Structure 1
Amino acid sequence: MNESTKPVAIFDVAVVGGGPAGLAAAIALSRAGARTALIARRVGYGDNRTTALLGGSVDLLRQLDVWPRCEADAAALRVMRLVDDTRRLIRAPEVRFSSDEIGLDAFGYNIENRTLMAAMEARAVEAENLTRIDGEAEHVTPDDTVVTIATRQGETLTARLAIGADGRQSLCRKAAGIGVTRRALDQAALTFNVAHSRPHKNISTEFHTPHGPCVFVPLPGDRSSVVWVASPKEAARLAALTDDELVEAAERQSHSILGRLQVGQGRSVFPLGIEQPARFASNRIVLVGEAAHVLPPIGAQGLNLGLRDAADIADVVRDALSSGKDPGASQTLARFETARRSDVLSRSFAIDMANRSLLSDFLPIQTARALGLHLISKVGPLRRLAMREGLSPSWRQRPYGETGFGSA
């Protein structure tokens, strides 16, 4: 059969992009009963970053049968400490959040992204209703009834709904005609992993500096991942240090709470910014992951938001298919828009305000920040509310554990 007569594959849903949010969406949609295509190259995960998966995300991964494949390689996060290390005139008190105060064994788990991705890839291979297309989308063309996707490798398929999980420079977002607002921050994040002589005791410690947070997050054994936010110039300087020099800087920044450090292989620097699309769905295309939101690494919200994107689109598509409706119809997209907008915008606003208040030298703002953290530290009900809301918004219509696709 020549190229001109080759049949075009038809799916209910096509997911473009194979990062964590795209893989989670593809697996969840296939479990929801949708004939799903996943368009993504199979490539090894290249950097050393980790993700703090908060409680709801772990519940979702457990439902998708991903978590049992990587749980042994994750470290529980039972206590989170916030330490004001700004040395300013007005400083906030230390705030300590303990998961047992809200009846949880752990807030979540920290895991290396490459380990999580390997588990998700293995699960995707086994998923029914899921066709993996090892390619890159080159053209995404929506019309009134379907979205046509052509790959660089010469394959063409159509789907009634396309999921744009293709990152910050999303081809799907552009095809949907969705604009995006970008704001670059005068900050960059240096990431690396360390071994240490003292146990972390499953405590994540976040030091607040005048240029951003520096967080030491537990990994299995006597190891931690470090996310050090600084000015771009300072982040580049730190990244260029020798291992011994970086150890000295990290020990100084951590006040040696973990003892003697040893830097692991690999370090990366990422410029920080905030990005928000004008809409989360349009023209038979919905956005998930970094195609839908980009945030600085504060409060461990980035991938957790992406996994909630995946859960919500799977719920919306399952409901549409079970009632005989078109999963790409405007009513279906409106449901997804409603489900995601408040969550994403409220998290983006909270993280932006927290970051701005930390960076500000304006004395009234420093005072307000210190007072707010003091109240959270001393007032139990307020602290417990902050912990619960930090894990997942209480106003979600269907929290994790109640998603329909989980029982499919």
Structure 2
Amino acid sequence: MPQPPREDRVFAVAVVGAGAAGLSAALALARDGIPTALVGRHAPVADGRTVALLDGSVRFLDALGAWGGIAPQAGPLATLQIIDDTRSLFRPPPARFHAGEIGLDAFGWNVESRLLVEALRRQARATEHLTLFESDAAEAVAGEEFSEVRLVDGGRVSARLVVAADGGRSPLRTASGIRVRDWSYPQSAITTILAHDRPHGNVSTEFHTRGGPFTLVPLPKNRSSLVWVAAEGVARRLSALDDAALAEAVTAQAQGMLGTMRVDGPRGLVPMRGLSVATPTAHRLALVGEAAHVFPPIGAQGLNLGLRDAAALRDAVLGAVREHRDPGSRAALAGFARARRLDAALRSTAVDTLNRSLLADLMPVDALRGVGLLAMSAIGPLRRAVMREGVLPRLGAPEQMRASR
């Protein structure tokens, strides 16, 4: 059982995990005056990964006061282009979607993951009501009125609610007994940063291949990030190439559209896996980010969904505090649990369906995918609805966050 808490280490919420989702959740809570602890070491992984922050995520980060430090290092995604490179008989022509069609300058902004985390960390250090504990959590023990987070350095932090933002293999989720469904794909993703001869024109291009999506996403200047999803054996062979040989293979796969390329950043090889939970809450525990859902790096869903988790959690906790209710109770978190479970399920299904349709190599599946892409290209109302759904899910009313401070 938890020990009687030390007065200087008692918080309304303790967020465990100092990645982008955990930092954002802690910032959202603290900026509304909720005493918050953030437990975790700052250790960004240099593997060439970027995140395409969709418009709703950008507005949320702006409400947290963090976007100003991120924007100069981010590249706008003004146009999305999909090219079917499956060699199928039912290949549709390339489809292009322009942000201006739905009144936006850009669908979102692409930034290196490590730079995003560093900017959020700077903001966290300067935020009132937020206390940082630079240590990993050993465990969290839930009691009747509070939970105790025990740190590996021997420290203890007590809170009404613990937020698990400790990643896809979350120890806190495992200890809670929340049921998990996880799966893997016979693929891996090669990630890196590229420099290229020709300007990208702020166009993000996704080639649909039989091995999976091959995606080039704009970064500032003549640079792009690469996510190349391929069969495991192919991905391992590509990953073993030196930088010059990998750049040559990327240039060929991209059909020379950006001219000659060269590797201009760290490289990574990411296994393709997925994870979902039966519920994102337990006794005095809420899950956000990859503790609640894991996506393959397809369709810019992973972190954007994690930021929606953070915004929704902030709304639930703030509502409970304002009504003098226990923010860690199941009743206070019931609405959060329902909404996040549905959002994650819908996004997971969409990403899984697209990826498996590319792997299937079945004529009826190819025909359905081709007809769907043609419909999105040709039918204006459908096209705009799909674009809005992809980039404009509500993120916890950032305008209200500004007004409430």
TM-score normalised by L of structure 1: 0.95
Mapped partners of 1:47, 1:125: distance in 2: 25
Residue 375 of structure 1: CA displacement? Answer: 0.6
Unaligned runs of 5+ residues in structure 2 are: none
Residue 265 of structure 1: CA displacement? Answer: 3.2
Verify the 8 A CA contact 2:195 2:222 in the aligned structure 1: yes
**Equivalences for residues 235-384 of structure 1 within 5 A:** 235-384=235-384
Mapped partners of 1:185, 1:365: distance in 2: 18
Mapped partners of 1:131, 1:116: distance in 2: 20
Verify the 8 A CA contact 1:32 1:315 in the aligned structure 2: no
- For 2:404, which of 380, 390, 407 is the aligned residue? 407
Verify the 8 A CA contact 1:207 1:213 in the aligned structure 2: yes
**Structure 2 partner of 1:32:** 32
Residue 251 of structure 1: CA displacement? Answer: 0.8
Mapped partners of 2:400, 2:206: distance in 1: 33
**Equivalences for residues 122-161 of structure 1 within 5 A:** 122-161=122-161
Q: Per the alignment, in what secondary structure is the counterpart of residue 216 of structure 1?
A: strand
Mapped partners of 1:92, 1:337: distance in 2: 39
Identity of aligned residues (%): 46
AA of the residue aligned to 2:263? V
**Structure 1 partner of 2:96:** 96
Verify the 8 A CA contact 1:64 1:406 in the aligned structure 2: no
Unaligned runs of 5+ residues in structure 1 are: none
After superposition, the Cα gap between the structure-2 partners of 1:28 and 1:62, relative to the gap in structure 1 and judged at 3 Å, is same
Mapped partners of 2:296, 2:50: distance in 1: 14
Residue 32 of structure 1: CA displacement? Answer: 2.2
AA of the residue aligned to 1:314? R
Verify the 8 A CA contact 2:147 2:158 in the aligned structure 1: yes
**Structure 2 partner of 1:200:** 200
Mapped partners of 1:257, 1:299: distance in 2: 21
After superposition, the Cα gap between the structure-2 partners of 1:91 and 1:54, relative to the gap in structure 1 and judged at 3 Å, is same
Q: Per the alignment, in what secondary structure is the counterpart of residue 327 of structure 1?
A: coil
Verify the 8 A CA contact 2:86 2:209 in the aligned structure 1: yes
Residue 371 of structure 1: CA displacement? Answer: 0.6
Mapped partners of 1:403, 1:74: distance in 2: 25
Q: Per the alignment, in what secondary structure is the counterpart of residue 38 of structure 1?
A: strand
Verify the 8 A CA contact 2:10 2:159 in the aligned structure 1: yes
What is the total number of aligned residue pairs between the two structures?
A: 402
Matched, 1:165 2:162: no
**Equivalences for residues 169-188 of structure 1 within 5 A:** 169-188=169-188
Mapped partners of 1:228, 1:133: distance in 2: 36
Q: How big is the alpha-carbon RMSD for the aligned residues of Structure 1 and Structure 2? A: 1.6
Verify the 8 A CA contact 2:49 2:113 in the aligned structure 1: yes
CA offset digits 1:291-313 (Å, max 9, x no partner): 00001111100000000000110
Residue 23 of structure 1: CA displacement? Answer: 0.2
Mapped partners of 1:157, 1:124: distance in 2: 18
AA of the residue aligned to 2:59? D
Verify the 8 A CA contact 2:186 2:272 in the aligned structure 1: yes
Residue 400 of structure 1: CA displacement? Answer: 4.2
AA of the residue aligned to 2:169? Q
Verify the 8 A CA contact 2:315 2:396 in the aligned structure 1: no
Mapped partners of 2:271, 2:29: distance in 1: 32
Mapped partners of 2:401, 2:66: distance in 1: 17
**Structure 1 partner of 2:107:** 107
Mapped partners of 1:125, 1:261: distance in 2: 38
Verify the 8 A CA contact 1:31 1:406 in the aligned structure 2: no
Mapped partners of 2:392, 2:245: distance in 1: 39
CA offset digits 1:77-133 (Å, max 9, x no partner): 000000001112221321111000111101010001111111100000011110100
Q: Per the alignment, in what secondary structure is the counterpart of residue 267 of structure 2?
A: strand
Verify the 8 A CA contact 1:82 1:206 in the aligned structure 2: yes
CA offset digits 1:169-226 (Å, max 9, x no partner): 1122123220210011111100011111100000000011001000010000000000
Q: Per the alignment, in what secondary structure is the counterpart of residue 118 of structure 1?
A: helix
Mapped partners of 2:125, 2:397: distance in 1: 24
Q: Per the alignment, in what secondary structure is the counterpart of residue 207 of structure 2?
A: strand
Mapped partners of 1:6, 1:196: distance in 2: 56
Mapped partners of 1:168, 1:5: distance in 2: 31
After superposition, the Cα gap between the structure-2 partners of 1:44 and 1:340, relative to the gap in structure 1 and judged at 3 Å, is closer
AA of the residue aligned to 2:249? A
Q: Per the alignment, in what secondary structure is the counterpart of residue 61 of structure 2?
A: helix
